[in-house]
């Protein structure tokens, strides 16, 4: 039996479900294939579950430091299994909500593996689906490093780490990208001995150099041990041998060395969205790709914000200082400790850094509580080509972290 649809979508992650919902809202018929869970990696094994655990970790850490604001918390403990159960409940609740939205939008869901037969045909469970448009949003999987292959017990992937129900006494995290950074902060907050190994010269190598240097300082304050320009070469009898000659014996290892696109045979005429494209592997980038395709609303692919969650948050947009020629730009640097709100919140760690050229912001790098929200303000200004001079005319509320942006403008 052949079934016909306007859109056939393989993969129900952020790119897939966004495309499905927007196409259905336009009155188009949509069939979506997902062999695993609706929501993709982001909802089930990535952004959402990690942030749920991170919130518990931050709350525990804040309670440990509550004496700084004259609140006494004694005999604090963590039931990590309950933390994981809470994470699972958050994921399940959001997944059910998403499933309901798709159902209400009359999107046909097929929980099965699908194969693209041609630019207009998809095969699943022995049936053929004819589609005017086919979208493949098949996602990505954790990168495997030679000598550190996942075994699900000692050497863990970012998928495996979410399945832990007890906290290890110690953990070695290989890689200091967003995934490695967030898990390092989670475990450190839960009083686990954390070591991070980074092959690059700087921690969080994708970030501005001053952000990387500040991360080193933050790691020291959280008693996170970090090795730079170092590779974890092999594991023998649960001993990890590093390129600097040291041998570590952590209870578990988390390999957080990025993700690789899932294998998918490319067919001419099929649209590929999200992580499978192998470019920017961020959920919000995938969502915007889907909106651009279905609704025809373009977006500037050079202005995609990056955020690393934790305490404090880290966010950036645009140019990094190490990419710019000396003397070709202006720079402002404001310490978060200069903001009254930061002291009220006992969260004065970090800075707001803005780079400009010819009266326009060309880059911003923020280490601060609420950095994820503040970076959007700067992004809106950059994308709309609003000058620094015009931005100075805006009234920022007080006391806020955002007024730090206002103060920074007058240093340019």
Give the pLDDT of residue 265.
78
In a domain, 117, yes or no: yes
Task: Look at the alpha carbons of 325, 326, 328, 334 in this order and tell me if their dihedral is positive or negative.
Answer: positive
Please give the Cα distance from 277 to 328 (Å, whole number): 34
Beta strands 2-10; 127-136: pairing state: parallel
Question: Does 350 lie in the same domain as 203?
Answer: no
Is residue 304, in this structure, part of any structural domain at all?
no
Q: Which CATH number covers residue 56?
A: 3.50.50.60
329 burial via Cβ count (<10 Å: 0-12, 13-18, 19+)? middle
The model carries a pTM of 0.95
Question: Same domain for 192 and 278?
Answer: no
Write out pLDDT tens, residues 62-104. Answer: 999 888 888 888 889 999 999 999 999 999 999 999 999 999 9
Closest by CA to 335, choosing from 349, 347, 321, is 349
Q: Are residues 345 and 399 in the same domain?
A: yes
| Dist. CA 223–CA 225, nearest whole Å | 6
Q: How many CA atoms lie within 13 A of 363 on its CB side?
A: 19
Token match 């007080």: residue? 398
Query: Which tokens in the block code for residue 178?
Result: 């967003």
Q: CA angle at residue 47 from 41 to 51, to 5 degrees?
A: 140
The predicted-structure confidence for 33-47, as pLDDT tens digits, reads as follows 999 999 999 999 999
CA dist 156 and 142 (Å) reads 10
Residues 218, 114 within the same domain: no
Same structural domain, 34 and 157: no
Has residue 301 been placed in a domain?
no
Residue 307 lies in a domain: no
Same domain, residue pair 92 and 28 = yes
Are the beta carbons of 148 and 239 closer than 8 angstroms?
no
State the CB neighbour count (10 A cutoff) for residue 98: 17
Q: What pLDDT digit, counting tens, does each position of 297-306 carry?
A: 999 999 999 9
In angstroms, rounded to a whole number, what is the distance separating the alpha carbons of residues 261 and 140? Answer: 4
Do the beta carbons of residue 373 and residue 349 sit within 8 Å?
no
Helix axes 283-295, 14-25, angle to 10 degrees: 30
Distance CA 80, CA 190 (A): 9
Which CATH number is 395's domain given? 3.30.390.30
Residues in the chain where the model's pLDDT stays below 70: 1-2
Are both 15 and 135 inside the same structural domain? Answer: yes
pLDDT tens for 294-333 read 999 999 999 999 999 999 999 999 999 999 999 999 999 9
**Would you say residue 303 lies in a domain?**
no
List the one residue out of 140, 178, 397, 155 whose CA is nearest residue 252: 155
Q: Are residues 94 and 228 in the same domain?
A: no
Same domain, 199 and 317: no
Ramachandran bin of 140, using left for φ above 0, alpha for ψ from -120 to 50, beta for the remaining angles? beta
**Residue 43 lies in domain:** 2-141+260-295
On whether residue 302 sits in a domain, the answer given is: no
Q: Which residues lie below 8 Å from residue 405, measured CB to CB, with a gap of 6+?
A: 352, 354, 374, 377, 378, 396
Cα separation, 253 vs 173, whole angstroms:
6
d(CA 107, CA 102): 5
Residue 404 shares a structural domain with residue 335: yes
Q: Are 45 and 302 in contact (CB under 8 A)?
A: no
Q: What is the DSSP letter of 69?
A: G
Domain count of the fold of the chain: 3
Residue 229 lies in a domain: yes
> Residue 88 in contact with residue 96, Cβ under 8 Å?
no
Q: Taking a C-beta distance cutoff of 8 angstroms, is the pair 391, 409 a contact?
A: yes
Q: Are 134 and 120 in contact (CB under 8 A)?
A: yes
Between CA 10 and CA 407 the distance in angstroms is 47
> CB–CB of 161/182 below 8 Å?
no
Residues 164 and 225 in one domain: yes
3-state secondary structure at position 267: coil
pLDDT at 1: 64
Looking at residue 66, its pLDDT comes to 86
Q: Is residue 70 part of a domain?
A: yes
- Kindly state whether residues 248 and 271 are assigned to the same domain: no
């Amino acid at each position: 039996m052949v079934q016909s649809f306007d859109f056939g979508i393989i993969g129900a992650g952020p790119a897939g479900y966004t495309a499905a919902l927007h196409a259905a809202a336009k009155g188009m018929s949509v069939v979506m294939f997902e062999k695993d869970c609706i929501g993709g990696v982001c909802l089930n094994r990535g952004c959402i579950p990690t942030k749920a655990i991170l919130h518990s970790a931050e709350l525990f850490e804040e309670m440990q430091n509550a004496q700084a604001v004259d609140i006494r918390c004694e005999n604090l403990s963590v039931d990590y299994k309950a933390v994981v159960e809470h994470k699972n409940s958050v994921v399940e609740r959001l997944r059910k909500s998403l499933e309901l939205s798709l159902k209400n939008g009359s999107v046909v869901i097929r929980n099965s593996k699908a194969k693209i037969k041609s630019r207009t045909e998809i095969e699943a469970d022995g049936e053929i689906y004819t589609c005017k448009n086919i979208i493949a949003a098949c996602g990505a999987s954790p990168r495997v490093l030679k000598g550190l292959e996942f075994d699900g017990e000692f050497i863990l992937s970012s998928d495996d780490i979410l399945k832990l129900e007890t906290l290890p006494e110690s953990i070695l995290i290989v890689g200091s990208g967003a995934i490695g950074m967030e898990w390092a902060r989670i475990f450190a907050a839960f009083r686990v001995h954390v070591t991070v190994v980074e092959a690059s010269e700087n921690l969080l190598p994708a970030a501005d150099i001053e952000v990387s240097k500040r991360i080193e300082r933050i790691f020291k304050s959280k008693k996170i041990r970090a090795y730079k320009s170092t590779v974890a070469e092999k594991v023998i009898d649960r001993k990890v041998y590093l390129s600097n000659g040291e041998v570590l014996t952590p209870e578990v290892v988390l390999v957080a060395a990025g993700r690789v696109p899932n294998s998918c045979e490319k067919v001419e005429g099929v649209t590929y969205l999200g992580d499978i494209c192998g470019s920017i592997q961020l959920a919000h980038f995938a969502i915007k790709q889907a909106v651009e395709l279905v609704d025809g609303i373009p977006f500037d692919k050079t202005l995609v914000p990056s955020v690393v969650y934790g305490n404090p948050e880290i966010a950036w947009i645009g140019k990094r200082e190490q990419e710019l020629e000396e003397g070709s730009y202006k720079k402002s640097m404001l310490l978060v400790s200069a903001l009254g709100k930061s002291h009220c919140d006992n969260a004065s760690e970090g800075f707001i850094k803005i780079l400009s050229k010819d009266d326009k912001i060309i880059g911003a790098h923020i280490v601060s509580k609420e950095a994820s929200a503040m970076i959007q303000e700067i992004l809106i200004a950059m994308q709309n080509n609003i000058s620094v001079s015009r931005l100075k005319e805006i009234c920022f509320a007080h006391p806020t972290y955002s007024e730090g942006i206002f103060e920074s403008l007058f240093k340019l």
